[in-house]
């Protein structure tokens, strides 16, 4: 860590950690002192949609390497618009196909990014 005279690599992180402790205490103290007319953190099941969003994201990260970019992207869009949002079926399908194609065009063809193709690789 070093001293003030010869600061080492741990000098700043240590100081910052001290600041963080003080600030956190200040925040806790302030909230304890203030009135506790608390609203629920997630009123009326508002946690559901963000949670689903994260779930789909995790699904994407898990699956994309072996199922491949094209299929995963398509499924991702279908689930998002079909489950989280309630978009009309015709829109879901056309947007999913259109977006998958556009993303493939931009990244794979235009920018030469080696996208994982999964078992579609030949």
Partner 1 sequence: MFQGLANGFGIAFSLTNLTFALIGAVLGTIVGILPGLGPAATISLLLPLSFKIASPVTSIIMMAGIFYGAMYGGSTTSILVNIPGEAASVVTCIDGYQMALKGRAGPALGIAAIGSFIAGTIGVIGLTFVAPPLAEFALKFGPPEYFALTLLGLLMATLLGGTSVVKSLIMVVLGLLLGSVGLDPISGAIRFTWGFFMLQEGVDFVTLAMGMFGIGEILINLEKELTTELVTRKITHLWPTLKDWAESKWAILRGSFIGFFIGILPGGGAVISSLVSYAVEKKVSKHPEEFGKGAIQGVAGPESANNSAASTSFIPLLTLGIPGNASIAMIFAALLIQGVQPGPFLITEHPDVFWGVVASMYIGNVMLLILNLPMVGMWVQLLRVPYAILAPIIVLFCCIGVYSIRNTVFDIWVMGIFGVIGYFFRKVDMEPGHLILAFVLGPILERSLRQALLISAGSPFIFFSRPISGAMMGFLILFILIQIVRAVRGERLKAE
Q: Which residues sit at the interface with partner 1, rule CB under 8 A?
A: 3-13, 16-17, 19-20, 23-24, 26-27, 30, 41-42, 46-47, 49-50, 52-54, 57-58, 60-61, 64-65, 69, 73, 76-77, 80-81, 84-87, 91, 95, 99, 103, 107, 111-115
* Phi-psi domain of 121 (left: phi exceeds 0; alpha: psi -120 through 50; beta: other): beta
- Minimum Å gap between C-beta 95 and partner 1 is 6
Question: Would you state the structure tokens that stand for residue 14, as one six-digit string?
Answer: 């240590």
Helix, strand, coil distribution of the chain in percent, nearest 5: 70, 0, 25
CB of 122 to partner 1, least distance (A): 20
């Amino acid at each position: 860590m070093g001293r003030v005279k010869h600061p080492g690599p741990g000098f700043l992180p240590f100081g910052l950690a001290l600041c963080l402790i003080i600030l956190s205490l200040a925040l806790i103290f302030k909230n304890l002192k203030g009135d506790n007319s608390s609203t629920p953190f997630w009123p009326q099941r508002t946690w559901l949609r963000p949670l689903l969003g994260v779930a789909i994201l995790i699904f994407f990260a898990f699956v994309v390497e072996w199922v491949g970019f094209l299929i995963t992207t398509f499924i991702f869009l279908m689930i998002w618009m079909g489950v989280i949002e309630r978009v009309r079926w015709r829109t879901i399908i056309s947007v999913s196909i259109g977006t998958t194609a556009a993303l493939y065009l931009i990244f794979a063809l235009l920018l030469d990014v080696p996208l994982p193709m999964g078992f579609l690789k030949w």
